Structure 1
Amino acid sequence: MTRNVLIIGLGLIGGSLALALQKAPETKVYGYDLSEKTRELAKTLNIVHEVVEDVEEAAKKADFIIFGTPVNATLQWMDELKNWSLKKNAIISDTGSTKGLIMEKALELREKGLTFIGGHPMAGSHKSGITAAKPYLFENAYYILTPFDDEDGNKIIALKELLKYTLAKIVKINAEEHDHMTAVVSHFPHIVAASLVHQLDEENKKFPMTSMLAAGGFRDITRIASSNPMIWRDITLQNRKELIGQMDAWIEEMQRVKKILMENDDESIEEYFKKAKDVRDALPITTGAFYSTYDLYVDIPDYPGVISEITGYLAEENISITNIRVVETREDVFGILVISFQTEKDREKAMNCIRTHTNFEMHVS
């Protein structure tokens, strides 16, 4: 019996999910997006088996409905969904990065006899939109489900059975835990990165050369400050309770560091950095929240054309890269050319490729 899956919202996440689920046997993936241009691209790129124009009509035959839309848009769709005619056992889910508001709205669906299981695939890309969709985007990433505590276990199993074709690591937690943990590892770091950039901007007014020196570590630690402001406006407001708690903890931590500095205790200062290094070095490198890349550091000599030489070798073997940059300082880094890949397998292939053609030293961080 064929499973009918309807994905509403065909951007990076929705499109990638659609491509991954096309690998599931006896499954037909339908797709809808408010944008006519996106729907046309979905047809051209074969993102789904079938693009629909009447989303409510398509929902009538869906066994699974998954929203690939931002949280605010998903909340509006859920309001509309309450009045749709759906299959009795249809399972509804989403892909939003905050879960508290979503699960509150899901209570209204439950009153209508509808099953909603919150979802959040914790992967992404520096690119956005349907043209960036990839079937392997979620591979080895965490895919979090946030069902109600008393949700029908068979419904959860059915959703897991479908989502296993994303090759993600599917875990189940409650919405409150989800929002707290993502505040720690994703949402709050964005605020910190943005605050560091604001501080740089103020300092640059007094010392104009400051921004010219903002290379290496500063650029790396503030990279996420370049994220879409509207998306992070919504995420920050949706998870503001948890973020305020993280800010309070951060201020307390900064007061502790200030005290260490005022005491001028070299052992305490060294121990502070040592503990941070130990914790940081113990973090998993193959999975994580949201966008993860696999970086390769190549110590290249300084001669014209060396970068195009390396990328040429990779192109010859059809090895795709997601980003490439030259690090402007060697402090605390292995090499000056950093090449990022979507998967660990691609990085390994790249290392073998470069090793075949050059004697450049390479390191993985």
Structure 2
Amino acid sequence: MRAGDPHPRDRLPVHARPARGPGAPGAIEPARARRPEPRAGPPRLGRADVAGRRGGGRRRDHRRGPPRPRERDLRRPAGAGRRPVRRLRRSRPAGGGDRRTGARHPRGPGLSDDRRVAESPDHPPRVAVLGVGLIGGSIGLAARHRLGAEVVGYDPDGANRDRAVALGVLDRAAVSIADAVADADAVFCAAPVAALPGLVAAALRESPPATVVSDVGSTKQALVEAIAADPSADRFIGGHPLAGAETAGVEGARQDLFEGVRWYLTPTERSQGVLFDRLHGVLAGIGARPMALDPAAHDLEMATISHLPHVLANVLAGIAAGSLPAGAERRPEVGRSFRDATRVAGANPAVWADIFSSNRAAVAAEIDEAVERLRSAAELIRGGDRERIQSWQRSARDDRRRMLEAELATAPLVELRIAVENRPGTVAEIALALGRAGVNIEDMSLFPAADRRTGAISLWIAGVEEAVQAAEVVAGLGHEVAPVAESGGG
């Protein structure tokens, strides 16, 4: 779709969306297929309008990137003319059928709701993985098997690169970061937290200007601050999957590791909306459930639900070891509750030293809160009031059940159409506001208007109540928003 098209609802959105295969009627032609396109009449698909390009003339040398686009959020990024648009199709919900309560507005000829990936005429999606361990390897497997992506990976350990290729994690092992990211649509930096600032900076420096760069680190604020001065920081969107396994290394990689897993994204006001949309689609395509959070809010959340449990596991293991009889090295029996509570005790010392250090203020605050609650629990138990103790236990049970039920809840999707100004940061502003309200965006589409100053964003929200809440949040930001009514079928 061209940003100047006067009828955006009759054409494809600016990013990859569900569509038929490349040979079907209405399939998207390669960006290089030039031909005149009428301004009125039946919609026809042709070359996108890319910054710095006009019809005719010689093409830019293939090693040179296009100029930076003017500041807009609802557009294809610079460099889009180098490659065709691909359509990401996500897996259908279990049981088949469409979960949505209302039909989508028409998005152009040849579109369907089939949610697998259709390869472009030129090449499938290209994903680069920098760091091929458990998480990086699982991204590679999932992208290859679920998206049909071409995955290139780099790891400083040459033997590890070779193992990744042998295990089918990568299509090709790169010899350098530049080699890995040269033609990537999306780059994932999978390295220890302390190494991420340098790795992300290198990925931004070496990748094309249309490439989105993300990471998988457990902390975000320090990383965002470290790369804030980078001129390409608008292409970086932090990420963190809440996934892991007992086995480390590429040998433990699994293509289903991210199935149903929450994957936090931490865009900033500088983040390009079209790149956020692309990354969101890729992650949903490998089975994850992306959700936007402010970097600082993410770190506070992780301090509570991830980092503090590791601290408590370490403390509990130390208490148990310290209470052993003199000369004893092990306890004769250990209950399941102790095993479960200490499962993560002492996990990868180098990795967790980086995590605790980079999020030290939030983790220390959570430890202080835990200490106060433990003191209160000690006083409660010391008092021996059975009714109060039972009430305390019931409250903990109900709190846990409520959190887990909210996590597992499923609901039909409702589409919201939002009218916005086409300015930098609009998509990130909306995504972050919804993230703060606890509303997850299941899917999204971007539609620039003919004047290039305005546009529309479609969001799909799970659940009617959640959609109403989302509409209130978005309206509070000053945007016009309305649910898309179900079509009458005629």
- Whole-angstrom distance in 2 between the partners of 1:282 and 1:17: 31
Q: 1:92-111 alignment to 2 at 5 Å? A: 92-109=213-230, 111=231
Match of 1:249 among 348, 351, 369: 369
- Whole-angstrom distance in 1 between the partners of 2:326 and 2:176: 58
Q: Secondary structure at the match of 1:43?
A: helix
1:113-141, Cα deviation, whole Å (9 max, x unpaired) = 65100011111110111111111110001
Q: 1:259-274 alignment to 2 at 5 Å? A: 259-274=379-394
1:4-55, Cα deviation, whole Å (9 max, x unpaired) = 2211011010010011111465732111111111111112112112111132
Q: Secondary structure at the match of 1:19?
A: helix
- Whole-angstrom distance in 1 between the partners of 2:405 and 2:348: 25
Match of 1:49 among 152, 164, 171: 171
Q: Which runs of 4+ in 1 moved over 3 A?
A: 23-27, 79-82, 205-210, 285-288
Distance change in 2, residues 1:17/1:85 (3 Å): closer
Corresponding residue for residue 195 of structure 1: 315
Q: Which sits farther off after the overlay, 188-197 or 145-154?
A: 145-154
Corresponding residue for residue 322 of structure 1: none
Q: Secondary structure at the match of 1:144?
A: strand
5+ residue gaps, structure 1: 289-365
The TM-score with structure 2 as length reference comes to 0.55
How far apart are residue 105 of structure 1 and its match?
Answer: 2.0
Corresponding residue for residue 331 of structure 2: 211
- Whole-angstrom distance in 2 between the partners of 1:140 and 1:157: 19
Amino acid aligned to 2:277: I
Q: Secondary structure at the match of 2:398?
A: helix
- Whole-angstrom distance in 2 between the partners of 1:47 and 1:287: 30
1:117 aligns with 2:241: no
1:128 aligns with 2:248: yes
Whether the 8 Å CA contact 2:147–2:285 is kept in 1: the answer is no
- Whole-angstrom distance in 2 between the partners of 1:25 and 1:255: 51
Q: Secondary structure at the match of 1:281?
A: helix
More helix by share: 1
Whether the 8 Å CA contact 1:62–1:86 is kept in 2: the answer is yes
- Whole-angstrom distance in 1 between the partners of 2:264 and 2:233: 23
Corresponding residue for residue 70 of structure 1: 192
Whether the 8 Å CA contact 1:145–1:173 is kept in 2: the answer is yes
Q: Aligned residues, how many? A: 286
Q: Secondary structure at the match of 2:151?
A: strand
- Whole-angstrom distance in 2 between the partners of 1:50 and 1:199: 48
Corresponding residue for residue 314 of structure 1: none
Amino acid aligned to 1:12: L
Corresponding residue for residue 224 of structure 1: 344
Match of 2:378 among 250, 258, 261: 258
- Whole-angstrom distance in 2 between the partners of 1:286 and 1:16: 27
Q: Secondary structure at the match of 2:224?
A: helix
Corresponding residue for residue 304 of structure 2: 184
- Whole-angstrom distance in 2 between the partners of 1:29 and 1:196: 42
How far apart are residue 76 of structure 1 and its match?
Answer: 2.3
Distance change in 2, residues 1:281/1:63 (3 Å): closer
Whether the 8 Å CA contact 1:138–1:167 is kept in 2: the answer is yes
Identity of aligned residues (%): 28
Corresponding residue for residue 284 of structure 2: 164
5+ residue gaps, structure 2: 1-83, 85-122, 409-490
- Whole-angstrom distance in 2 between the partners of 1:206 and 1:267: 38
Whether the 8 Å CA contact 1:30–1:48 is kept in 2: the answer is yes
Q: Secondary structure at the match of 1:181?
A: helix
How far apart are residue 278 of structure 1 and its match?
Answer: 2.0
- Whole-angstrom distance in 1 between the partners of 2:266 and 2:357: 20
How far apart are residue 67 of structure 1 and its match?
Answer: 0.5
Relative contact order higher in (CA < 8 Å, ≥ 6 apart): 2
- Whole-angstrom distance in 1 between the partners of 2:357 and 2:291: 25
Whichever of the two has the greater Rg, that structure is 2
- Whole-angstrom distance in 1 between the partners of 2:219 and 2:137: 20
Whether the 8 Å CA contact 1:140–1:287 is kept in 2: the answer is no
1:88 aligns with 2:190: no
Amino acid aligned to 1:31: G
1:262-307, Cα deviation, whole Å (9 max, x unpaired) = 433221112111211222333427969xxxxxxxxxxxxxxxxxxx
- Whole-angstrom distance in 2 between the partners of 1:286 and 1:254: 26
Q: Secondary structure at the match of 1:170?
A: strand
Whether the 8 Å CA contact 1:90–1:114 is kept in 2: the answer is no
